[in-house]
Chain A
Amino acid sequence: MQIIDLDQTNLRQANAQLQSQSNGANQTEWQILNPKGAHAIAVGLDAPINVTVEGSTGYYCAGMNKQARLRINGSVGPGVAENMMSGTVIIEGDASQYAGATGHGGLLVIKGNASSRCGISMKGIDIVVHGNIGHMSAFMGQSGTMVVCGDAGEALGDSLYEAKLFVRGAVKSLGADCIEKEMRPEDLAEVQALLERAESTAKPSDFKRYGSARKLYNFDVDHAGDY
């Protein structure tokens, strides 16, 4: 186990150590101590290593993550795992706004609640939230899947493209062009698989599916009020 104590090591050195790990890395187990709300912890990683952060972080934890598996034993600030490409990021606590923003791949799990704009502009990332998500979540979501065991705030999936949204609890309101859709066998299977990977015991059949109505895909003057 490699230990990085942010009370002793500065952020640049910490990130440099983690970023220099590559595919054949000998050191696969890493622990970061004393994050104390610092920003940009463990960003730009690109190796199949396991990293545990003991405490809560600031903005952009695990930004642009590739391959690495991170677990944060605390809460995270805005933009966790933003633009993640692959790998796994698990937050034991809550996440602030923009969680998983523009993520291209990988799995982001939030065991507590996520704030507003969860999954904004998602581009292939999978996000599972055990708790609630805030307003404007999945705004302009292009692809990927979001599974929410709790409730969703206002304007869910506003201007949605092809991202798939599953919510078990109440949805305060749906955004422009986002509608409820039927749960098909392949959706139940997909939700089941994601919940398992996300360490959740929720039942897929309790979820509803939401997706794009696709009315904004090609402009129609008679729907101009929707824009």
Chain B
Amino acid sequence: MCGIVGLFLKDPSLEAALGRMLTDMLVTMSDRGPDSAGIAIYSKAAENRAKITIQSAHPDQDFAALEADFKTTFRQSLTLQRKNSHAVFEIPQNQIDEIRARMREAHPGIRVMSTGDNIEIYKDIGLPRSVAERFDVPLMQGTHGIGHTRMATESAVTTMGAHPFNTGPDQCLVHNGSLSNHNSLRRQLQREGVVIETENDTEVGAAYLTWKMQNGSSLGEALQSSLDDLDGFFTFVVGTKDGFGVLRDPIACKPAVMAETDQYVAFGSEYRALVNLPGIAGAHIWEPEPATVYFWTH
């Protein structure tokens, strides 16, 4: 049970303020989710470069070891932009798999939070305001982002249990609700070779979407088939490289409010999350219909 916020900017002049606006929306949703918080922000990496966001429980030593290893193994300098227990760095796009394999092999203490051309994910336990400040989210800029505050239902309160979940390049998912068949679905996906790390029902939802897309579905098609394959109550907000999407289950008990102006499309679990957005007084405010996929792209 949780709070979700999302902001998709149509007006580039707002990009510098994306992190600040998203943080403000996120903090308003703290009551819905005091356990942990996370944010995914999309901003373009340099040409032909991709980004990896990482996290470690021992960042000083693990990140230093990574930098040293990078020099010797890849003969490249690693520019780690450090943010508390997380860090983000850019690498050549064509070396993602190689680098990830090396990290898995030689740096098991480092968790990969996200990979993609544009995405960065920061998430941790604690109240939303302190999580956002820990990672300098208010200073971030970008084209779109989604955020999540968590009240854990049936799995533990841990860093990796926080949302958003990234299980594909530039793709992430946040969820409000409770899936009721996530255990069976997890086992099925694991048999298909999908790696799922936590007992969290949302991670199963994210893995399901990614698996569908790896097997040829578009994101819209994957969301559509999730209505058949996922059971329970859910409002999903998914982020992709170019945009974001919203889907509510057919029963649609979990809340969802959207606002649109010439400058942005915004999502909040409660209207309260949207009240400080520019031009909100004149915005078109509506609630997404159940069992309907909504999508916005740049």
Contacts and interface: CB of A to CB of B under 8 A. Distances in A.
**Chain A: interface secondary structure?**
loop
A64 B122 CA distance: 42
A78 B269 CA distance: 11
Contacts of A77: 255, 257, 270-271
A115 B275 contact: no
A33 to B, nearest CB: 13
Interface string B183-217: 00000000000000000000000000000000000
Which size class do A's interface residues fall under?
A: 10 to 19
Interface in B272-298: 272-275, 285-287, 289-290
Contacts of B275: 36-37, 56
B287 A96 contact: yes
B252 interface: yes
Contact of B285 (A75, A116, A134): A75
B257 A36 contact: no
B287 A115 contact: yes
Contacts, number: 42
A116 B290 contact: yes
B270 A58 contact: yes
Contacts of B253: 97
A135 interface: yes
Contacts of B272: 36-39, 58
Contact of B271 (A56, A134, A135): A56
Contacts of B252: 97, 116, 135
A16 to B, nearest CB: 21
Interface string A34-67: 0011110000000000000000111100000000
Interface string A95-118: 011000000000000000001100
Nearest to B281: A55
A95 to B, nearest CB: 10
Contact of B290 (A56, A78, A93, A135): A135
Contacts of B270: 37, 58-59, 77
A75 B271 contact: yes
Contacts of A134: 289
Interface string A65-108: 00000000001011000000000000001101100000000000
26 contacts: A36-B272, A36-B275, A37-B270, A37-B273, A37-B275, A38-B272, A39-B272, A56-B271, A56-B275, A57-B271, A58-B272, A75-B271, A75-B285, A77-B255, A77-B257, A77-B270, A77-B271, A94-B285, A96-B255, A96-B271, A96-B287, A97-B252, A97-B287, A115-B287, A134-B289, A135-B252
Given A56-B285, A58-B270, A77-B255, 10 more contacts: A37-B270, A37-B275, A39-B272, A56-B275, A58-B271, A77-B270, A77-B271, A94-B286, A97-B253, A115-B287
Interface of B: 252-253, 255, 257, 270-275, 285-287, 289-290
Interface of A: 36-39, 56-59, 75, 77-78, 93-94, 96-97, 115-116, 134-135
